[in-house]
Structure 1
């Protein structure tokens, strides 16, 4: 059994997650071969958060700001690792590697931004050299740019992890989940004649942006893409009007009424009609995007706007699931999994599917993305290809990331 820590800070910028995982590399497809053990979450200091928000849009003196933020993010990640290791009763020598996503400050895949003459790039900061030196642990980082170099979007990267851990073979189970709760076991599948993919699943991560993976018991059938805004528009609107970081449980959205004409205007955005592979970020979906859509709507109350933004997220996720008629189960992870009103709206729009969180499969919804980067670090060390060309558009599979040593 080896220990890996995944480090994640997403488009919501609500803080960093450090997730401790145990991976038994001697039994890579056995029950409990991958376990999430503990998570630590730390908020961004206000000054660093302000700088990160500034860096997500063109501004003056960007290089100096980025250089300072690069070190600041690495130091916060290192702090989270230190707290996590101490709480787990481990030492740095017990950890095989850290898998660090970093903080995305720009995501412009090919064809996304006219300012870059259609040269695709993606940029995550959180200097892995600083992280390795401060923690004394090898770091695997810079996962996205290899895929972009191969002509891909560099996102989403989690479908391969979702297949490995949540595939319909159910190779992964945390010990806390009773065997009786298994939806579809490998042994059961081998003894049945039901068609491959009959129990296909959708894994939906709702962070700032929502991404979706379609998986079943055949690794060759993985597909997925960024379906659109997750929490980012709702978070921005509630921050502006109620000075809250997010709409807890979606209560404010639930108090409003969906404005159908506004919803139709939102869904008319070209991104939702764009064919996959596709990915997006806060450079596209942000408060300015909301302001532009609202220009012709002057009589809608703030609560009704929030209700409509919540419905927008539910609607584009539901539309994506409906594109895959074999999907029977929809599992939600990320911060959006705690928005009970949002989940109820997704379920209402998907009456033929069962909507639940990844807790049912044994991983806390908030742990999934951090665990994905622990797995990506493991995949790098084992030379396992971790991108999915059918998802990102890359010309081939590739081992992702680079290794940074503390010595």
Structure 2
């Protein structure tokens, strides 16, 4: 018997919403259908503005919470319509929401995209607000996907790393019978930001622009000296830290835009490599997220990790574009089954816990 769930994911790029319909009746999730709902540029800009302090924040947040909830619901309804599916056959939606603030050191995180609106407009039970229970238990509230990675990708007696290269990069490491997971720093975020500023494009297609540039060694060294990269796990980060202001702080001298892009690519590759090598000397790495499509970044990652094989999660049977959305469908199931969704060794929480609120 099928157990159909829908996972919704909107990442740090705020470009669109991934909606994945998943059959979770077996240990390995089966992606049945998917839909990408582009976020209108006006809504994207309004959300980006909320990621930083500004005037009239509470009113603006309340409005965006509802508008984004409607956008998530539209993504679900479009997915169902495209594939002639009935809402009554879906057990639940797992919605990550859109992070607008993540401050684990101050014990709070905030995701918007009202789950009440999603449930009301789709007629489907919606599970959301996954992160705050972990924070309440002393954890970082992130990353949460390692629990999913453990359930689906773990292979005993293998040093296996799952690397999610979204706006922020995070890793799940399985080695010596132990699991560890944390954010390593920027994934695509700074690359996309710089590309949008200079090429007026949302991303550097396959890293072609970065490939034209030359790494500025002094700039790279200064960026890699940032204290975040030296922090031990558990740790998490986001747009609040790695943003335009962070980058501009390092751009004191005149460097060509292409050279900056090449240097930012190397920053992502080197920071990920250093994080992995500090715990595991060799093994196999499976990449998911948008960064899996950046051929130049993938090649620099392999260059920085010569004792590892670097592939995508396609080799494990799951499309790299849909791993995170599938993970939140899985987390919704965990919640409804009253099972934990976090791993204390990863987030630093005092105990494993059932995550999220249920909206019907």
Task: State the match for 1:265 in structure 2.
Answer: 222
Aligned to 1:60, which of 44, 49, 55? 55
Task: State the match for 1:402 in structure 2.
Answer: 357
Task: State the match for 1:376 in structure 2.
Answer: 331
Task: State the match for 2:44 in structure 1.
Answer: 49
Task: Report how far residue 47 of structure 1 moved.
Answer: 1.7
Task: State how far apart, in whole Å, the 1-side matches of 2:14 and 2:179 are.
Answer: 28
Task: State the match for 2:320 in structure 1.
Answer: 365
Structure possessing the higher radius of gyration over alpha carbons: 1
Task: State the match for 2:4 in structure 1.
Answer: 3
Task: Report how far residue 88 of structure 1 moved.
Answer: 2.4
Note the residue ranges of structure 1 that are not aligned, 5 or more in a row.
111-118, 169-195
Task: State the match for 2:344 in structure 1.
Answer: 389
Task: Report how far residue 216 of structure 1 moved.
Answer: 5.6
1:20-169 equivalences under 5 Å are 20-24=21-25, 28-29=26-27, 33-110=28-105, 119-168=106-155
Root-mean-square deviation (CA), in Å?
A: 1.2
Q: Secondary structure at the match of 1:253?
A: helix
In the alignment, is the contact (CA less than 8 A) between 1:163 and 1:216 conserved in 2?
A: no
Task: State how far apart, in whole Å, the 2-side matches of 1:325 and 1:285 are.
Answer: 26
Task: State how far apart, in whole Å, the 2-side matches of 1:351 and 1:68 are.
Answer: 49
Task: State the match for 1:173 in structure 2.
Answer: none
In the alignment, is the contact (CA less than 8 A) between 2:281 and 2:307 conserved in 1?
A: no
Query: For structure 1, which segment, 324-333 or 226-235, has the greater mean C-alpha deviation from structure 2 after superposition?
Result: 324-333
1:216-255 equivalences under 5 Å are 218=177, 221-255=178-212
**Aligned structure 1 segments of 4 or more residues deviating by more than 3 angstroms:** none
Task: Report how far residue 43 of structure 1 moved.
Answer: 1.2
Task: State how far apart, in whole Å, the 2-side matches of 1:352 and 1:275 are.
Answer: 22
Task: State the match for 2:173 in structure 1.
Answer: 214
Task: State how far apart, in whole Å, the 1-side matches of 2:113 and 2:82 are.
Answer: 23
In the alignment, is the contact (CA less than 8 A) between 2:159 and 2:280 conserved in 1?
A: no
In the alignment, is the contact (CA less than 8 A) between 1:321 and 1:327 conserved in 2?
A: no
Task: Report how far residue 324 of structure 1 moved.
Answer: 2.6
Query: For structure 1, which segment, 249-258 or 320-329, has the greater mean C-alpha deviation from structure 2 after superposition?
Result: 320-329
In the alignment, is the contact (CA less than 8 A) between 2:161 and 2:284 conserved in 1?
A: yes
Task: State how far apart, in whole Å, the 2-side matches of 1:120 and 1:334 are.
Answer: 27
Task: State the match for 1:289 in structure 2.
Answer: 246
In the alignment, is the contact (CA less than 8 A) between 2:16 and 2:36 conserved in 1?
A: yes
Note the residue ranges of structure 2 that are not aligned, 5 or more in a row.
none
Task: State how far apart, in whole Å, the 2-side matches of 1:19 and 1:246 are.
Answer: 23
In the alignment, is the contact (CA less than 8 A) between 2:69 and 2:115 conserved in 1?
A: yes
For residues 125-181 of structure 1, the C-alpha deviation after alignment (integer angstroms, 9 at most, x for no partner) is: 00000100000000000000000000111000000100111111xxxxxxxxxxxxx
Task: State how far apart, in whole Å, the 2-side matches of 1:394 and 1:351 are.
Answer: 34
Task: Report how far residue 328 of structure 1 moved.
Answer: 1.1
Task: Report how far residue 87 of structure 1 moved.
Answer: 2.1
Task: State how far apart, in whole Å, the 2-side matches of 1:217 and 1:43 are.
Answer: 41
Task: State the match for 2:18 in structure 1.
Answer: 17
In the alignment, is the contact (CA less than 8 A) between 1:167 and 1:217 conserved in 2?
A: no
Task: State how far apart, in whole Å, the 2-side matches of 1:16 and 1:235 are.
Answer: 17
Task: Report how far residue 325 of structure 1 moved.
Answer: 2.6
In the alignment, is the contact (CA less than 8 A) between 2:287 and 2:320 conserved in 1?
A: yes
Normalising to structure 1: TM-score of the pair? 0.86
Task: Report how far residue 66 of structure 1 moved.
Answer: 0.4
In the alignment, is the contact (CA less than 8 A) between 2:175 and 2:280 conserved in 1?
A: no
For residues 221-276 of structure 1, the C-alpha deviation after alignment (integer angstroms, 9 at most, x for no partner) is: 22110000011101111111111111010000001011111100000000000111
Task: State how far apart, in whole Å, the 2-side matches of 1:14 and 1:372 are.
Answer: 19
In the alignment, is the contact (CA less than 8 A) between 1:160 and 1:222 conserved in 2?
A: no
Task: Report how far residue 382 of structure 1 moved.
Answer: 1.1
* Alpha-carbon spacing, 1:11–1:92, altered in 2? closer, same or farther (3 Å): same
In the alignment, is the contact (CA less than 8 A) between 1:167 and 1:216 conserved in 2?
A: no
Task: State how far apart, in whole Å, the 2-side matches of 1:87 and 1:216 are.
Answer: 42
Task: State how far apart, in whole Å, the 1-side matches of 2:175 and 2:123 are.
Answer: 39
